[in-house]
Structure 1
Amino acid sequence: MTSSRPVALVTGASSGIGEAAALALAGKGFQVIGTSRDTSRLTSGGGVTFLDLDVTSDESVNGVVEQVVARFGRLDVLVNNAGVGANGAAEEISVGQAQRVFDVNVFGLMRMTRAVLPHMRARGAGRIINVSSVGGFVPNPFMAIYVSTKHAVEGYSESLDHEVREYGVRVLRVQPGPINTPFDANQVQADHPLQVYAHQRRVFEDVMQESMRGGDDPTVVAKVIAAAATDRKPKSRYLAGATAGRVAVLRRVVPAALFDKSVRKLNRMAG
């Protein structure tokens, strides 16, 4: 049976940006499937149905996508929102731990994308919306692993968009600035902390908490995701929030040396 309503699949939909995006898309008339690792405590309703999903598992990803297509007969929009942060100097995070972060933020996104593309190409229409970050185009000390995943998402998304556009499928990026969510409390912590970085790491944690608490509400990003899903002529990237807009302009027009200095000043670093 094919749904008469467009169908959207949102990963990481149990809280924060994902939850807000699921509700925003439902408000735009979509039948929304929200996913999380454990949805047992979540209640379906308001146009949102919840399914368990582990984006690090090929079996889980393929099973959920096939279940959605079998149930609704279509899949119009995928929002790749599931992600995890990583807090610590790059030297403090083992390669194994970095691989686990990449497995969620990058390879999980790739698994989801590869699973939905055949269905979208067959219908000649579809949108894949990847939630990136301002960290996808600016540096952020003590978040090198997380930032590198978002740089990867940027390159993958923009390149893939050119590959699939002729088949009616678009791959779009949403780039939020700081968002007031519990994201900072759920970050992976460095598994090999070093005393030499201890002081500056604590300074960074204070800066991060201040930035998040003063950040935009998740609904700000959700509105942008909904726009990316419904715009008649979608843009390849969407900045989300006032800070993201300012940072993008500064990155483009400020001389490199001055921008570098501003990054160090913002993060209260010497020199």
Structure 2
Amino acid sequence: MSKVIFITGGSSGIGKAMGDFLTDKGFVVYGTSRNPDRLSEDFKFELVKMDVCNADSVSAAISEVIQKENRLDVIINNAGVGITGPIEETPDTEIHKAFDTNVYGPIRVIKAALPQMRSQGKGLIINITSIAGYMGLPYRGIYSATKSALEITTEAIRMETKQFGIEITNVAPGDFVTNIAAGRYHAPELEHSPYRKDYGATLKMMNEHVDAGEDPVQMAETIYRIINTPKPKVRYKVGAFLQKFSIVLKRVLPQRMYERMLMNHYKLK
């Protein structure tokens, strides 16, 4: 029997790449979108209307898939939003939105899926985090914080649910070629801001990194391997060598030296 896979944020970028790849591998795939009716392109897999920021919407989407397939084998919490800006100048409403989507959203999905997986006696939940979640990045601090929060949440709930035969893991990507930069919230570059010069230069560098990023198919291949792994690790990292190596450096370098390395990278004083 083909496994039933549910991917949040499946209409573009990494989510769509994973959906296409896993469908080609013979899985039954459902992706989610807040507005699937507005999408003009054809999809290899079915899209379900869902907003991760709305608990009723999440419950309805999960229930729809279970009613159709009578099972739910894999959840991939991929939906997320980017956010940049000096923390001092980032509106509270945008900070709340980022946490609502990137942290509370996956938790809502997990809570909605666990009863079905528990009744099956097995299931797999993969949370897509970010290499940015391993370090506080300048002008991307809120994004780093949301992804770090999801990493730690996964560590805890993974231990709570092992007794039910449910496996939960993190996959932290680096920069991939997607449209995330276009959908990211950017705090405005204020004319008289003391951060304007550094923020503007850092923002340009971030966008260049995405444009020069890895092929999203790498993520899809990693997810496929995890699905076929009986006992997934706590976390996986996918991306360019230097991005993954930066996590190793944080563990071994003195704190101030690591901070200076990051500041030099972003050309900050």
Task: Give the TM-score normalised by the residue count of structure 2.
Answer: 0.94
1:139-168 Cα shifts (integer Å, max 9, x gaps): 211011111101110110111100001111
Q: Is 1:21–2:3 an aligned residue pair? A: no
Where does residue 143 of structure 1 map in the other structure? 140
How far does residue 28 in structure 1 lie from its aligned partner after superposition?
Answer: 2.8
Query: Residues 177-188 of structure 1: matches in 2 within 5 Å?
Result: 177-188=174-185
**Residue 163 of structure 2: which of 150, 166, 174 is its match?**
166
SS for the counterpart of 1:181 is coil
Where does residue 217 of structure 1 map in the other structure? 215
Query: Residues 45-194 of structure 1: matches in 2 within 5 Å?
Result: 46=44, 48-190=45-187, 193=190
One-letter identity of the residue aligned with 2:109: M
Where does residue 253 of structure 1 map in the other structure? 252
Whether the 8 Å contact between 1:9 and 1:32 is mirrored in structure 2 is: yes
Distance 1:17 1:268, change over 3 A: same
One-letter identity of the residue aligned with 1:212: V
In structure 2, the gaps of 5 or more residues are none
One-letter identity of the residue aligned with 1:236: V
Counterparts of 1:102 and 1:129, CA distance in 2 = 18
Give the stretch that moved more between structures: 76-85 or 26-35.
26-35
How far does residue 234 in structure 1 lie from its aligned partner after superposition?
Answer: 1.1
Counterparts of 1:33 and 1:106, CA distance in 2 = 21
Whether the 8 Å contact between 2:189 and 2:199 is mirrored in structure 1 is: no
Whether the 8 Å contact between 2:4 and 2:72 is mirrored in structure 1 is: yes
1:29-55 Cα shifts (integer Å, max 9, x gaps): 210001111112255653x11111111
Counterparts of 2:72 and 2:249, CA distance in 1 = 38
SS for the counterpart of 1:196 is coil
Where does residue 237 of structure 2 map in the other structure? 239
How far does residue 197 in structure 1 lie from its aligned partner after superposition?
Answer: 1.1
SS for the counterpart of 2:136 is coil
Distance 1:42 1:79, change over 3 A: farther
SS for the counterpart of 1:51 is strand
Counterparts of 1:206 and 1:132, CA distance in 2 = 22
How far does residue 192 in structure 1 lie from its aligned partner after superposition?
Answer: 9.1
Counterparts of 1:229 and 1:142, CA distance in 2 = 34
Give the stretch that moved more between structures: 183-192 or 147-156.
183-192
Whether the 8 Å contact between 1:161 and 1:171 is mirrored in structure 2 is: yes
How far does residue 221 in structure 1 lie from its aligned partner after superposition?
Answer: 1.3
Distance 1:44 1:231, change over 3 A: farther
How far does residue 91 in structure 1 lie from its aligned partner after superposition?
Answer: 0.6
How far does residue 180 in structure 1 lie from its aligned partner after superposition?
Answer: 1.4
Whether the 8 Å contact between 1:101 and 1:146 is mirrored in structure 2 is: yes
Whether the 8 Å contact between 2:133 and 2:143 is mirrored in structure 1 is: no
* Count of aligned residue pairs for this structure pair: 266
One-letter identity of the residue aligned with 2:169: L
Whether the 8 Å contact between 2:189 and 2:196 is mirrored in structure 1 is: no
One-letter identity of the residue aligned with 1:27: D
Identity of aligned residues (%): 34
Counterparts of 2:43 and 2:34, CA distance in 1 = 18
In structure 1, the gaps of 5 or more residues are none
One-letter identity of the residue aligned with 1:87: T
Distance 1:77 1:42, change over 3 A: farther
